[in-house]
Amino acid sequence: MASISAKPQLFKILGSNPSRSAGARRPASIRCSTSQPPRPRRYRITLLPGDGIGPEVVSVAKDVLSVAGALEGIEFSYSELLMGGAAIDTVGVPLPEETLAKAKESDAVLLGAIGGYKWDGNAKPLKPETGLLQLRAGLGVFANLRPASVLPQLVDSSTLKKEVAEGVDLMVIRELTGGIYFGEPRGFGTNDAGVDIGFNTEVYSALEIDRIARVAFEVARKRRCKLCSVDKANVLEASMLWRKRVNEISSEFPDVQLSHMYVDNAAMQLIRDPRQFDTMVTNNIFGDILSDEASMLTGSIGMLPSASVSGSGPGLFEPIHGSAPDIAGQDKANPLATVLSVAMLLRYGLGEENAARRIEDAVIETLNKGFRTGDIHSSGMVLVGCKRMGEEVLKSVDSQKPVAALG
């Protein structure tokens, strides 16, 4: 099913000015319909459930996406394909050619989770994580957006003191297709003493730095106009170039306040005083670590979505949690990170702001009613499983008025 229009460019989508805090947001205002309902917008979505709890959370998110879309006159067609360990077991590789080809043809890609103990001993080409890196490179999604907001409903779930966690609302912009995860040369060998070694290369070009910096400045401009660039420029040449280029790009965004911080200090400051941060931009490996750390400020990694986007072509949307094989199939997973990932899919991937807000509002309403999965449960709340949590979110979405009925 073809999309009715060309995919919007990244900066145009970033200009949608999404709310920074779902808990503090005013109800979305939706324009009245005309006497003739608008023609439905149609999008093709590739689903990659993956491994572990991936199929459970993707199933919930798909249902929520469909209902929220229908209320806005949006139709989706879905293609569900293999990736990760499931693909290895079925066809012998972590990212089948068919999966990548279908993903490239779609309007957006929703990924559940990949990996698990079963494949930990595989050679690198046959690891689920290799398929994920191949997917990111194949789609060219160089900018990873990871929000971390402490919702008022969950502030007591954070392991930090309430006065430290309350009000945290930040966005980590991670460069996703360069750096040490992709740099060459890499591999194994022996040194002059005949001792085995493993080696990787941290390398960035000015082009790679410039494009992620511009995305970060654009995001910061739509938030509180504060951007902190994180590097290790006191030691690493790649970071020295990173800082130089970010400083140069900053001249294009005089309204955004730029600061720099070494990664070790940034890791400490995220725990000491997380409210000092608004938007952070950093390289691939630092972003991997810092965004996971930031997620725990919120109380559970099961609450955090992410968006990986490029200048054109489909984006990749996924929860930042892993496959959690220890609870897979037990109806214990928290699906809200994946549900919020489809909200990001709508906003950053398709430019459908109203539908995105419907989902975010439904998540907040569900939390306000006291429903909690095990990872965010506290005394006095209603403990539910993955399926029930999804049902409650669906009820909240379904209770909203369709756009044609608003006046």
Non-local (6+) Cβ contacts of 110 within 8 A are 45, 46, 47, 48, 58, 61, 62, 65, 317, 318, 338, 341, 342, 345
Identify the three-state secondary structure at position 257: strand
The residue count of the chain comes to 407
- The reply to whether 1-20+41-142+310-399 and 153-298 are identical in fold is yes
Identify the three-state secondary structure at position 273: coil
Higher pLDDT, 386 or 15: 386
Task: Point out the catalytic residue in the list 264, 273, 326, 398.
Answer: 264
Non-local (6+) Cβ contacts of 200 within 8 A are 180, 183, 186
Strands (E), 239-278: 257-262
Distance CA 181, CA 48 (A): 22
Instruction: Please report the pLDDT score of residue 239 as a whole number.
Output: 98
Distance CA 157, CA 140 (A): 36
Instruction: Please report the pLDDT score of residue 28 as a whole number.
Output: 34
Instruction: Please report the pLDDT score of residue 38 as a whole number.
Output: 56
Q: What's the whole-model pTM score?
A: 0.84
- The mean pLDDT of 256-273, rounded to a whole number, is 97
Active site residue 292: yes
Q: Could you report the per-residue pLDDT of 275-308, keeping only the tens digit for each?
A: 999 999 999 999 999 998 998 888 788 899 999 9
CATH of 1-20+41-142+310-399, one of 3.30.1540.10, 3.40.640.10, 3.40.718.10, 3.40.50.720: 3.40.718.10
Topology (CATH) of 153-298:
Isopropylmalate Dehydrogenase (3.40.718)
Report residue 65 as tokens.
Answer: 């996406």
Task: Point out the catalytic residue in the list 292, 331, 369, 387.
Answer: 292
Burial class (CB in 10 A: 0-12, 13-18, 19+), 94: buried
Burial class (CB in 10 A: 0-12, 13-18, 19+), 217: buried
Q: Could you report the per-residue pLDDT of 167-221, keeping only the tens digit for each?
A: 999 999 999 999 999 999 999 999 999 999 999 999 999 999 999 999 999 999 9
Report residue 93 as tokens.
Answer: 């590789």
Question: Which residue matches tokens 């689903």?
Answer: 47
Instruction: Please report the pLDDT score of residue 226 as a whole number.
Output: 98
What single string gives the DSSP state of each residue in 82-95? --THHHHHHHSSSS
Evaluate the CA torsion angle 94, 99, 103, 104 in order and state its sign: positive
Which helix (H) or strand (E) segment holds residue 112: the answer is strand 108-113
Q: Could you report the per-residue pLDDT of 34-85, keeping only the tens digit for each?
A: 444 556 699 999 999 999 999 999 999 999 999 999 999 999 999 999 999 9
Q: Could you tell me where the DSSP H helices lie in 108-184?
A: 128-139, 162-165
Report residue 192 as tokens.
Answer: 């002059």
Q: What burial letters (b/e) apply to 317-341, b meaning 16+ CB within 10 Å?
A: bbbbbbbbbebbeeebbbbbbbbbb
Active site residue 232: yes
Task: Point out the catalytic residue in the list 127, 232, 348, 361.
Answer: 232
Distance CA 309, CA 315 (A): 5
Q: Is the peptide bond before 185 cis (omega within 30 degrees of 0)?
A: yes
Instruction: Please report the pLDDT score of residue 403 as a whole number.
Output: 67
Active site residue 288: yes
Strands (E), 290-370: 305-309, 315-319
pLDDT band at 405 (very low <50, low <70, confident <90, very high): very low
Task: Point out the catalytic residue in the list 43, 181, 204, 348.
Answer: 181
Domain boundaries, the chain: 1-20+41-142+310-399, 153-298
- As a whole number, the mean pLDDT across the chain is 90
Active site residue 273: no
Instruction: Please report the pLDDT score of residue 10 as a whole number.
Output: 52
Task: Point out the catalytic residue in the list 51, 231, 288, 375.
Answer: 288
Active site residue 89: no
Q: Could you report the per-residue pLDDT of 310-343, keeping only the tens digit for each?
A: 988 999 999 989 999 999 999 999 999 999 999 9
Report residue 169 as tokens.
Answer: 């609302």
